[in-house]
Structure 1
Amino acid sequence: MTRLEHVNVTVADPDATAQILCQLFGWHIRWSGAAMETGRSVHVGSDDSYVALFSHGGDQAPAIDSYRTRAGLNHIAVVTDDLEGTEQRIIAAGYRPGAHQDYEPGRRFYFTEENGVEIEVVSYV
């Protein structure tokens, strides 16, 4: 069997984004340090998988409409056993969840964090 280990996303401030994801999802920082050229990267997630948060340093290109750009990142999905509790943490952190959906095989909602990355939160319980 093959499984997804990580996804790498460019953000403005990897440390700040990692702290938010730890707060919202109970994750931990697995590694952080210098990355390619002038960049910095923080790996945040669980023991089995993570999101690599990367910043090149200096000026960044403007965000794109990912749903209309080939190879664009449309969203990152996380699974939780406590959809309501996770949503309350997200609201308390100042985000606005939306697009609530309840269909097989689970219930879900979405929110967009400050880098413009859409995150889907899904529960299969």
Structure 2
Amino acid sequence: MTAMLEHVNVTVADPKATAAWLQEIFGWHTRWAGDSIYGGLTVHVGTDAQYLALYAPPEPPKGQAHSYTHINGLNHIAVVVDDLDATEARVKGKGFSVGEHYDYEPGRRFYFDSPEGIEFEVVEYD
């Protein structure tokens, strides 16, 4: 049996706003939105098979004792696309600054940061 990654749960300031720009850049859709089991709001955005769970606590976090109480508890999220150049244009069109670009086997990639400081790697495989 091969395992498949279903979702990643990250804490953001505004799940609805984050979901909106992710949908515009990557062509994703909102799978579900509602109250979180920890209070606050969660929005699931992605494809029918995989998604990001975007969580915001009910009140702005005061510390970083638990992963659900702070923003950016990971290194980066990688997304595979069919057209890297068109995706980069959409990223720039949303006002994001694009960082490093790398072209090595098996594909090309670039990086950008979300407003919360979450780094996204965007990859197009050859």
Shift of 1:15: 0.5
Give me the CA root mean square deviation.
1.3
Change (3 A) 1:24 1:115: same
Q: Which amino acid aligns with 1:37?
A: Y
TM-score by length of 2: 0.88
Q: What is aligned with 1:5?
A: 6
State the match for 1:80 in structure 2.
Answer: 81
Distance 1:46 1:62 in 2: 32
Once the two structures are superposed, residues 24-82 of structure 1 have per-residue CA deviations (whole angstroms, 9 ceiling, x without a partner) of: 1000000000002321100000011000000112122478xxxxxxxx40000000010
Q: Which runs of 5+ in 1 are unaligned?
A: 64-71
Aligned partner of 1:39 in structure 2 is 40
User: Aligned residue for 1:124?
Assistant: 125
Q: Specify the SS of the correspondent of 2:101.
A: strand
Report deviation, 1:123: 0.4
Deviations 1:94-121 (A, max 9, x none): 0111110001111000000101110000
Q: What is the alpha-carbon distance in structure 2 between the residues aligned to residue 19 and residue 122 of structure 1?
A: 21
Deviating above 2 A after TM superposition, structure 1's stretches of 4 or more consecutive aligned residues are none
Q: Structure 2, unaligned stretches of length 5 or more? A: 65-72
Cα distance change, pair 21–74 in 1 and its aligned pair in 2 (3 A): same
Q: Tell me if 1:107 matches 2:111.
A: no
Tell me the residue number matched to 1:96.
Answer: 97
Identity of aligned residues (%): 55
